[in-house]
């Protein structure tokens, strides 16, 4: 039998199971005085966990590496192992009475980022990715991508500084925000970041004052109606105004070098890339008419993990059709979520539970309403801001329940809702999902695909800290990830 204590023995769970629940709930009923030692003893002989000694909490020192002294250690092993280790560490912290012992945490699998890069290279060998930093500016992720040779799409002074500080050459940055503060434009110029987008005449005046030597990219409107997050309402010049903008740029003696578009983030119909590339072709021709010689095509972001190969096919075909002669044209893209969405998982602790409809009679009266409400220690003001800002839906699974990481297939589930820890009722992580009714305070829920637009926009509203990240190189590709990161660090590319 596998037993892992996940609730502090010394601060026993603060709820009283009702009589009807006692039968399904024996762990706290038996009132065992669990300590860290009993935890470890039980773990090491556990058939379910199959963890070796080196995978136990605190036993990682001989296999982990500190390639970057300023960053947390880079662990080996499958992310699932680290989710479990984190849960066990939390249990130890709880036994030590550490405040915030059960804090939620991410596990980042850098091997997954690397595998996405291989996928990119296989499907879009002609297109150089410029990672959209805003999607997840994680220090390991940007170092790994820099080490793999990608460029970076930055949208602010802060992002530019972050990328330059790790040793990336400014020519590998595109400042892809069409509406920039004039001081940011000036600073970009000072730092050698020359490539930047624009989509309006005011921006041209600003750039002519603050960075007249910039290499400009006109951002055109693309059909974003097939994306979860549309951008057209805020950015993109309609083709009809492009000739006027280019004439204005000429008049101001500015250099326009190419065209960019963005089909919207989270694009679920990749056929829109065809239309966007066609529009870019028209804009290229407008450039020629205005006396420019465009050499840069930027196809933006929007790549969804599940639809990537399809998107790549549409793009490749469209580029072949509309840019049959690509000599002298560099093609780049600005993928964000494609690289990171699957690379991060989150473990969150159930800190409270309410069962307003636990009685069978109440459930019959409200058959559609979740009968159990679980409250976890990260929410929409934290990592789950993606639900509000990025329109994501998340799917919790049981990471640790009772004393085990294993949930029997026969475990009865019930209609449940999952809530964040703040005092705001908007803080709902999951309005309706099926979870075991026997989950208790101290158990853990897991959430996969938490890498895109999550950590980066988390706030500390209501005094809840942003969840920490545990890093691993994962499975396939792990040694290559370590090799390129070690080389990157050795080349003295910052810390």
Ligand X SMILES: *Cc1c(COP(=O)(O)O)cnc(C)c1O
Give the end-to-end CA distance of the chain in Å, rounded to a whole number: 45
The least CB distance from residue 132 to ligand X, in Å, is 3
> Which of 114, 303, 308, 344 is the binder for ligand X (CB under 6 A)?
303
300 contacts ligand X (rule: CB under 6 A): yes
Other CB atoms within a 10 A radius of the CB of residue 25 amount to: 15
Q: If binding means CB under 6 A, how many residues of this protein chain bind ligand X?
A: 16
| Residue 3 or 342 with smaller CB distance to ligand X | 342
The least CB distance from residue 312 to ligand X, in Å, is 13
Is 423 annotated in the active site?
Answer: yes
The least CB distance from residue 451 to ligand X, in Å, is 10
180 contacts ligand X (rule: CB under 6 A): no
The least CB distance from residue 334 to ligand X, in Å, is 3
| Residue 302 or 396 with smaller CB distance to ligand X | 302
The least CB distance from residue 265 to ligand X, in Å, is 3
137 contacts ligand X (rule: CB under 6 A): no
Per the residue annotation, which of 423, 428, 430, 456 is the catalytic one?
423
Three-class secondary structure assignment of the chain: CCCCCCCCCCCCCCCCCCHHHHCCCCCCCCCCCCCHHHHHHHHHCCCCCCCCHHHCCCCCCCCCECCCCCCCCEECECHHHHHHHHHHHHHHHHHCCCCCCCCCEEEEEHHHHHHHHHHHHHHCCCEEEEEEHHHCCCHHHHHHHHHHCCEEEECCHHHHHHHHHCCCCHHHEEECCCCCCHHHHHHHHHHCCCEEEECCHHHHHHHHHHCCCCEEEEEECCCCCCEEECCCCCCCECHHHHHHHHHHHHHCCCEEEEEECCCCEEECCCCHHHHHHHHHHHHHHHHHHCCCCCCEEECCCCCCHHHHHHHHHHHHHHHHHHCCCCCCCEEEECCCHHHHHHHEEEEEEEEEEECCCCCHHHHHHCCCCCCEEEEECCCCCCCCHHHHHCCCCCCCEEEEECCECCCCCCCCEEEEEEECCCCCCCCEEEEEEEEECCCCCCCEEEECCCCCCCHHHCCCHHHCCCCEEEEECECCCHHHHHHHHHHHHHCCCCC
Residue in this structure with the two tokens 């940007």, named with its chain if needed: 142
> Which of 111, 258, 301, 451 is the binder for ligand X (CB under 6 A)?
301
For residues 309-348, which are near ligand X according to CB under 6 A? 334-338
| Residue 347 or 456 with smaller CB distance to ligand X | 456
The least CB distance from residue 238 to ligand X, in Å, is 17
What gap in Å lies between CA 94 and CA 99, rounded to an integer? Answer: 8
What gap in Å lies between CA 256 and CA 250, rounded to an integer? Answer: 8
For residues 401-440, which are near ligand X according to CB under 6 A? none
The least CB distance from residue 493 to ligand X, in Å, is 24
The least CB distance from residue 452 to ligand X, in Å, is 6
> Which of 49, 51, 67, 135 is the binder for ligand X (CB under 6 A)?
135
Locate 67 and state its tokens.
Answer: 């390639």
Judged by CB under 6 A, which stretch of 7-15, 21-29, 114-122, 128-136 contacts ligand X? 128-136
| Residue 75 or 272 with smaller CB distance to ligand X | 272
138 contacts ligand X (rule: CB under 6 A): no
Phi, psi of 12 (to 5 degrees): -60, 150
For residues 150-179, which are near ligand X according to CB under 6 A? 153, 176
> Which of 302, 379, 446, 474 is the binder for ligand X (CB under 6 A)?
302
| Residue 276 or 445 with smaller CB distance to ligand X | 276
Judged by CB under 6 A, which stretch of 2-10, 100-108, 127-135, 396-404 contacts ligand X? 127-135
| Residue 393 or 468 with smaller CB distance to ligand X | 393
> Which of 82, 84, 103, 134 is the binder for ligand X (CB under 6 A)?
134
> Which of 262, 279, 342, 440 is the binder for ligand X (CB under 6 A)?
262
| Residue 177 or 472 with smaller CB distance to ligand X | 177
> Which of 75, 87, 132, 478 is the binder for ligand X (CB under 6 A)?
132
User: In sequence order, what are the residues at sequence separation of 6 or more whose Cβ sits closer than 8 angstroms to the Cβ of residue 490?
Assistant: none
Known catalytic residues are 423
User: Residues in the site for ligand X, rule: CB under 6 A?
Assistant: 132, 134-135, 153, 176, 262, 265, 300-303, 334-338
């Amino acid at each position: 039998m596998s037993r892992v204590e996940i609730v502090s023995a010394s601060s026993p769970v603060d709820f009283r199971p009702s009589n009807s629940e006692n039968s399904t709930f024996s762990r706290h009923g038996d009132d065992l005085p669990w300590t860290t030692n009993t935890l470890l003893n039980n773990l090491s002989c556990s058939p379910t966990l199959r963890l070796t000694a080196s995978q136990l909490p605190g036993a990682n020192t001989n296999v982990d590496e500190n390639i970057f002294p300023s960053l947390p250690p880079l662990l080996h092993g499958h992310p699932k192992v680290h989710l479990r280790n984190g849960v066990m560490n939390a249990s130890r912290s709880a036994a030590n009475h550490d405040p915030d012992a059960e804090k939620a945490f991410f596990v980042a699998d850098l091997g997954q980022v690397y595998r996405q890069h291989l996928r990119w290279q296989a499907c879009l060998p002609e297109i150089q990715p410029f990672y959209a930093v805003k999607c997840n500016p994680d220090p390991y992720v940007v170092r790994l991508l820099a080490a793999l040779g990608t460029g970076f799409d930055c949208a602010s002074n802060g992002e530019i500084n972050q990328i330059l500080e790790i040793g990336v050459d400014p020519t590998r940055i595109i400042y892809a925000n069409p509406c920039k503060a004039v001081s940011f434009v000036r600073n970009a110029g000072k730092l050698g970041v020359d490539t930047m987008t624009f989509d309006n005449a005011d921006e041209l005046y600003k750039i002519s004052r603050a960075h007249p030597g910039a290499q400009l990219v006109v951002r055109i409107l693309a059909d974003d109606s097939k994306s979860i997050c549309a951008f057209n309402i805020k950015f993109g010049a309609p083709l009809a105004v492009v000739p006027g903008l280019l004439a204005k740029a000429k008049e101001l003696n500015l250099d326009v070098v190419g065209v960019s578009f963005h089909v919207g983030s989270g694009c679920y119909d990749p056929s829109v890339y065809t239309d966007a590339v066609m529009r870019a072709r028209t804009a290229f021709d407008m450039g020629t008419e205005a006396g420019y010689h465009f050499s840069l095509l930027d196809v933006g972001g929007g790549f969804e993990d599940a639809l990537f190969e399809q998107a790549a096919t549409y793009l490749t075909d469209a580029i072949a059709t509309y840019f049959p002669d690509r000599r002298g044209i560099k093609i780049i893209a600005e993928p964000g979520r494609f690289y990171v969405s699957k690379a991060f998982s989150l473990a969150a602790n159930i800190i409270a539970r309410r069962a307003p409809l636990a009685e069978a009679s109440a459930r019959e009266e409200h058959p559609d309403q979740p009968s159990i409400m679980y409250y976890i220690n990260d929410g929409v003001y934290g990592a789950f801001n993606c639900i509000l800002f990025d329109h994501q839906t998340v799917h919790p699974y049981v990471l640790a329940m009772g004393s085990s990481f294993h949930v029997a297939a026969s475990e009865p589930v019930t209609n449940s809702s999952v809530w964040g820890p703040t005092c705001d009722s908007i803080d709902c992580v999951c309005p309706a999902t099926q979870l075991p009714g026997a989950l208790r305070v101290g158990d853990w829920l897991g959430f996969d695909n938490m890498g895109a637009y999550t950590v980066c926009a988390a706030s500390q509203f209501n005094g809840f800290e942003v969840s920490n990240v545990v890093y691993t190189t994962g499975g396939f590709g792990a040694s290559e990830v370590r090799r390129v990161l070690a080389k990157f660090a050795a080349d003295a590319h910052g810390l």
